[in-house]
Amino acid sequence: MTLIDETSTIPAGGPTLEQVRRVVTDLPGPRSAAILARKAEAVAAGVAHSMPVSVVAAGGGVVVDADGNSLIDLGSGIAVTSVGNAHPKVAAAVAAQAAQFTHTCFMVSPYESYVDVAEALNRLTPGDFAKKTALFNSGAEAVENAIKIARKHTGRQAVVAFDHGYHGRTNLTMALTAKSMPYKSGFGPFAPEVYRVPGSYPYRDGLTGAEAAARAITLIEKQIGADNLAAVIIEPIQGEGGFIVPADGFLDAVVAWCRANGVVFIADEVQTGFARTGTMFASEIFGIEPDLITTAKGIAAGLPLAGVTGRAEIMDAAHAGGLGGTYGGNPIACAAALAAIDAFENDGLIERAQQIGAVLTDRLGAIRENDPRLGDIRGHGAMIAVEFVDPETGAPDAALTAAVAKACVAEGVIILTCGTFGNVIRFLPPLSIGDDLLNEGIDVLATALQGA
Ligand code: PLZ
């Protein structure tokens, strides 16, 4: 069954797609509505969606639906299509690899592109020391494996994660994730030996980085004991939790404590990685060199691929056959990753992320001057967010956030919310978006705010 009846009207995706916001029907339009009705019948209710559309093409800074609506993309499929959707180099690499071979299982018959991706990750991740990499399918799977590796290396079991942290939806990563609804509620029991401590949330805790680190370290020492601790895992900028940028000095103090106590420090860069924050990895912003880094999302422009990269002596702790999986480092995903990494390195995308960050922070800052409901604007590069509050009390305003997001959606702008309190709108545009569309997206947000 075809998604729409006249296939000839489906535009090709990629950067040649017309770069325009165009809303020609209510959302969803009739074709999308018919498909979403089938979704409601056929797809499990737990798999929700935030945009009422059915997509037929995407590229540059737009996503086009089955009714011909062209939406401004400020989400990149949750920080995945950073190089741009249907990027020509990625599309060509995927097609060429699919025609060559689609799968052998790297654990059975290895191939070069997996090794190429491992070498690239070893080279690009922070830290001037010998590194190794293992590839997997999803961010959650990378996190699971980083914990396995850290436990094997240290011979210890406990793992520390942080308030507002997000690490995935599998059993261990649900345990690591802080927020109950929608990620955990009713899905327990969760994996044991996972402990949570407060991190650094300057807008709400008012602590310096050193104070926040001391608070976390005291709790770890008194409630867990360094001798029992295999790993500390943290997102350098917390994504789902609200784009929380820790105060200066927090991350390096935690890293120093881990190093002094033989604890593996894991940076979860699944959302922050690959040029997103205006650096190849967010760890660089804070001057830290994690022992292990988890990556996914932006690495392969939409193909399912994830990695664990880190100190060779830690990565090699797992016995032969101890790490793997049927699809990990699939050849088509590796081909996509090599094309995407080429674009990150050679197409000025780090600089582009910085420019996008400047546009976003300038424009949002100007809106905030006349609207104190914008309590905090924060982030780095093309990973910027606004936290909405009641100006009188500073209390999180989730209702306003939801209303603004809904109005933007109706006007043809893909906008994502996040935050433990549901009061954050986050901007994760593809780095291929033009300034015109980016500014138009912010105009729509400003108008939505006036009406909310
Ligand atoms: N670690 C830091 O951001 C995925 C989740 C979307 P997977 N974030 C988007 C949702 O609601 O499921 C994420 C992340 C960080 C790990 C993950 C998990 O990555 O590829 O979704 O498993």
pLDDT digits (tens, 9 = 90+) for 270-318: 999 999 999 999 999 999 999 999 999 999 999 999 999 999 999 999 9
Question: How many angstroms separate the alpha carbon of residue 99 from the centre of ligand 1?
Answer: 30
Per-residue pLDDT for 6 more than 70?
no
What is the pLDDT averaged over residues 197-213? 98
Atom from ligand 1 closest to the CA of residue 297: 20
What is the pLDDT averaged over residues 43-64? 98
Global pTM value:
0.97
Choice from 137, 235, 297, 383 to test ligand 1 binding pocket (greatest atom count within 8 A of CB): 297
3-state secondary structure of 385: strand
Q: Is residue 9 part of a domain?
A: no
Q: Concatenate the DSSP letters of all residues of 256-302 into one string.
A: HHHHHTTPEEEEE-TTTTTTTTSSSSGGGGGT---SEEEE-GGGGBT
Per-residue pLDDT for 434 more than 50?
yes
3-state secondary structure of 305: coil
pLDDT digits (tens, 9 = 90+) for 106-161: 999 999 999 999 999 999 999 999 999 999 999 999 999 999 999 999 999 999 99
What is the pLDDT averaged over residues 392-397? 97
Last residue of a domain, one of 346, 367, 392: 346
* CATH classification at residue 27: 3.90.1150.10
Choice from 136, 240, 276 to test ligand 1 binding pocket (greatest atom count within 8 A of CB): 240
C-alpha to C-alpha distances, 200 to 165, 273, 437, nearest whole angstrom: 11, 20, 34
Atom from ligand 1 closest to the CA of residue 239: 3
* 3-state helix, strand and coil shares in percent for the chain, rounded to the nearest 5: 40, 15, 45
- CA 234/CA 324 separation, integer angstroms: 23
Last residue of a domain, one of 281, 311, 346: 346
Per-residue pLDDT for 2 more than 50?
no
Question: Do both 376 and 242 map to the same domain?
Answer: no
- CA 134/CA 153 separation, integer angstroms: 15
Question: Do both 38 and 106 map to the same domain?
Answer: no
Question: Do both 117 and 59 map to the same domain?
Answer: no
User: Which pLDDT band holds residue 9 (cuts at 50, 70, 90)?
Assistant: confident
Question: Do both 406 and 439 map to the same domain?
Answer: yes
Q: Is residue 2 part of a domain?
A: no
Rounded to the nearest integer, the mean pLDDT of the chain is 97
Q: What pLDDT does residue 333 have?
A: 98
What is the pLDDT averaged over residues 420-429? 98
Q: How many domains does the chain have?
A: 2
* Residue located nearest, by CA, to atom 5 of ligand 1: 168
| Amino acid at position 287, single letter | G
Question: How many angstroms separate the alpha carbon of residue 440 from the centre of ligand 1?
Answer: 28
List, chain by chain if needed, residues with CB within 6 Å of any ligand 1 atom.
78, 138-140, 143, 166-169, 235, 239-240, 268, 270-271, 296
Question: Do both 102 and 135 map to the same domain?
Answer: yes
pLDDT digits (tens, 9 = 90+) for 209-232: 999 999 999 999 999 999 999 999
User: Percentage of residues in the chain with pLDDT exceeding 90?
Assistant: 98
* CATH classification at residue 201: 3.40.640.10
Per-residue pLDDT for 47 more than 50?
yes
Q: What pLDDT does residue 1 have?
A: 39
Question: Do both 334 and 439 map to the same domain?
Answer: no
Question: Do both 253 and 377 map to the same domain?
Answer: no
Question: Do both 20 and 64 map to the same domain?
Answer: yes
Burial zone of 3 (CB within 10 Å; 0-12 exposed, 13-18 middle, 19+ buried): middle
User: Which pLDDT band holds residue 7 (cuts at 50, 70, 90)?
Assistant: low
Question: Do both 98 and 220 map to the same domain?
Answer: yes
Q: Is residue 423 part of a domain?
A: yes
Question: How many angstroms separate the alpha carbon of residue 169 from the centre of ligand 1?
Answer: 8
Last residue of a domain, one of 300, 328, 346: 346
Q: Is residue 185 part of a domain?
A: yes
Question: How many angstroms separate the alpha carbon of residue 366 from the centre of ligand 1?
Answer: 31
Is there a contact between 241 and 272 (Cβ–Cβ < 8 Å)? no
Question: How many angstroms separate the alpha carbon of residue 308 from the centre of ligand 1?
Answer: 15
State which residues form the domain around 330: 89-346
